[in-house]
Chain A
Amino acid sequence: MITLLEARNIGKRFGGLQALSDVSLTIRKGEVYGLIGPNGAGKTTFFNVLTGAYTPDGGEFVFNGSELPTGKPHKVVGRGIARTFQNIRLFRELTALENVMAGHHIRTKAGVWGVLTQNRFTREEERLTTERAYELLKYVGIERFAEVVSKNLSYGDQRRLEIARALATEPQLLALDEPAAGMNATETAQLKALIEQIRRDGITVMLIEHDVKLVMGLCDRVAVLDFGKKIAEDVPAVVQKNEAVIAAYLGGGKHAH
């Protein structure tokens, strides 16, 4: 299998807290990769470092064979990594459609001059952006809300919209931060189907999730973080039986501090 993303010895410290220490992991093309761990284990920090929101203190990411720039979110997106947030972060005043259109920003070119003159290139690009955004809304199943201002959407639909917006950046790796948080069983099942569809369409998915059932049912491989260190990485069935993992989740053992 081809490696898509390789994290090498990633470290990140916030003051006295070592949020990540020497985390190395490998994500293969086409898989769904789960990142789990107790609260405060450093999962979201890892996402933030990967997507350029934070600069790592050490280590590097190799994506598609070349090093990723650090601390420059727009360049990371340009290389093909998109993310969603643990607490939904939509553009509140924009409609669902416009949110997804905004997501297409990095794949479009129109500048001030083109916009002012409304030349053929700009108009064509705008039309394609609209159509593509609508297709993506259909893909995640909320096209009937295209014209609804996003802050008025229901919680589950907002989550879907955020995924559609991330997909609009045309990523190769989609990083989802707790996509099932706050969802009921039906919504979670729909989300699972959506993620499986995304994988079938050739996009690699990286997933932070607390819903163990979802992780075990969906992920090809899982890495476990605890206190900023990777304590396990394997297929779900093996990780489930790992003693260090059990100790981290249930407390006690050598990992109690």
Chain B
Amino acid sequence: MNELAAAVPWLGKRNPLAARWLIIILAITAPLVAWQFGKSWVRILDFALLYMLLAMGLNLVVGFAGLLDLGYIAFYAVGAYTFAFLASPHFDVHLPFWTILPLGAGFAAMAGIMLGFPVLRLRGDYLAIVTLGFGEIVRIFMLNLNYPVNITNGPQGINMIDPINLFGWDLSRNLQIGENFSINSLFLYYYFFLLAVAGSIVFVHRLQISRVGRAWAAMRDDELAAKAIGINTRNMKLLAFSLGATFGGLSGCLFGAFQGFVSPESFSLMESIAVLTMVVFGGMGNIAGALVGAFVLALLPEILRDVAVPLQQTLFGHVLLDPEVLRMLLLSLAMILMMLLRPAGLIPARARYSHDHHLSNKLKQEAAK
């Protein structure tokens, strides 16, 4: 939160408290503003929040622990499919939301450890290739596990997934207040996802400024030296993979429930790369960077798509470039511009790995002596 507040232009350095409140107010009012432009924009914001969750999780693995993971979307898939299996007519199982969420996170964490073990000795490019393969394996499993026994329903995916139901409160229904005032379901999802993001900011921030965060950073900066001061790099890597995967699994569950439909094509390599781009674009290894990167890169293509299609129609009479093609084009363009203009990411703030109040208290004691 401090990093995020400090990243606010102009205000951030002068008045961090005001910047902090500004962010909170913006976060709360964002869907109201989006609503003015149409319902679909609120939906896009909802997805942006899911991407933020994903980016936070991947930032843990890539940014803090320095393990380049190109198959991260596989954990998202595990979470989404767990939810689909346990809350849809597909197997006719309908477990409550609060039961599935920890299961989805747990399965994803297990998948994280499964990926982690074989790649313990790999670094850099080699690690990236193996994780990429892992991501594809998961997707291909989802695609083909419909025969001889139909588990995943193959390319058709699983439909009619139960919506999020918080102790009897169905988020997919508009909330009726009084007679003539109702809150659209998309808002309910937005605020629920916002809570999830806020929770995970606290979670990740605490991890970063701790013994665990320092061990990850140490391993990232110099693995041999990390071993030489007694860090068990094997355990720390597995921890990073499994915690990162937990985030993927959680957001996967939310995605499945929100979308009501999952299919393998949502979990392609391009999605992994998109999430990685968000982390790198925002600034690797700091929470604010991951959040801003995810927000900007989830929104920007949508905004440009909204502009690009009508623009192409007026200019050429028909649509030359498909919006999906345009999205990847824009991601690449964003990366190139970033490398040229801000090589350390949008928010290159150095991440802290220790509490400054401990040090300042200590210094005060010293001064008092």
Q: Contact residues of A with B, CB < 8 Å?
A: 51-53, 73-74, 77-78, 82-83, 85, 89-95, 97-98, 101-103, 105-106, 108, 110-112, 115-116, 118, 122, 125-127, 129-131, 134, 146-147, 149, 165-166, 168-169
Contact = CB atoms under 8 A, between A and B. Distances in A.
21 contacts: A53-B224, A53-B227, A73-B227, A74-B230, A90-B221, A91-B218, A91-B222, A91-B225, A91-B226, A92-B222, A94-B353, A95-B353, A102-B215, A102-B226, A105-B215, A112-B243, A116-B203, A118-B206, A122-B210, A131-B358, A131-B362
A122 B350 CA distance: 24
Among the interface residues B221, B285, B352, which one has the most CB atoms of the partner chain A within 10 A?
B221
* 4 smallest beta-carbon distances between A and B, as pairs: A77-B230, A106-B230, A130-B358, A89-B225
A101 B362 contact: no
Interface in B218-241: 218, 220-222, 224-233, 239
A88 to B, nearest CB: 9
A125 B209 CA distance: 13
A242 to B, nearest CB: 32
B211 A129 contact: yes
Interface of B: 203, 206-207, 210-212, 214-215, 217-218, 220-222, 224-233, 239, 243, 285, 350-355, 358-359, 361-363
A89 B354 contact: no
A116 B225 contact: no
B59 to A, nearest CB: 14
A118 B202 CA distance: 11
A31 to B, nearest CB: 22
B224 A126 contact: no
A78 B230 CA distance: 7
Contacts of B203: 116
Contacts of A90: 221-222, 225
Contacts of A111: 212
B229 A126 contact: no
B212 A112 contact: yes
A103 B211 contact: no
Nearest to B208: A115
A91 B221 contact: yes
Nearest to B211: A110
A97 to B, nearest CB: 6
A186 B163 CA distance: 71
Contacts of B363: 134
B369 to A, nearest CB: 13
Nearest to A151: B221
B222 A115 contact: no
Contacts of B224: 53, 85, 89
B358 A98 contact: no
A120 to B, nearest CB: 14
A109 B86 CA distance: 37
Given A94-B217, A131-B362, A112 B207 contact: yes
B354 A101 contact: yes
A8 to B, nearest CB: 23
Contacts of A82: 228-229
A98 B214 contact: yes
Given A91-B222, A165-B229, A115 B207 contact: yes
A50 to B, nearest CB: 11
A93 B215 CA distance: 12
Contacts of A134: 359, 362-363
A141 to B, nearest CB: 15
B10 to A, nearest CB: 25
A105 B230 contact: yes
A118 B233 CA distance: 23
A91 B354 CA distance: 14
Contacts of B231: 74, 102, 105-106
A89 B215 contact: no
A112 B354 contact: no
B356 to A, nearest CB: 8
A25 to B, nearest CB: 21
A108 B221 CA distance: 21
Nearest to B235: A74
A97 B360 CA distance: 12
A238 to B, nearest CB: 33
A44 B217 CA distance: 26
B214 A168 contact: no
A129 B210 CA distance: 10
A126 to B, nearest CB: 6
A52 B212 CA distance: 22
B206 A116 contact: yes
A83 B228 contact: yes
B206 A95 contact: no
Contacts of B206: 115-116, 118
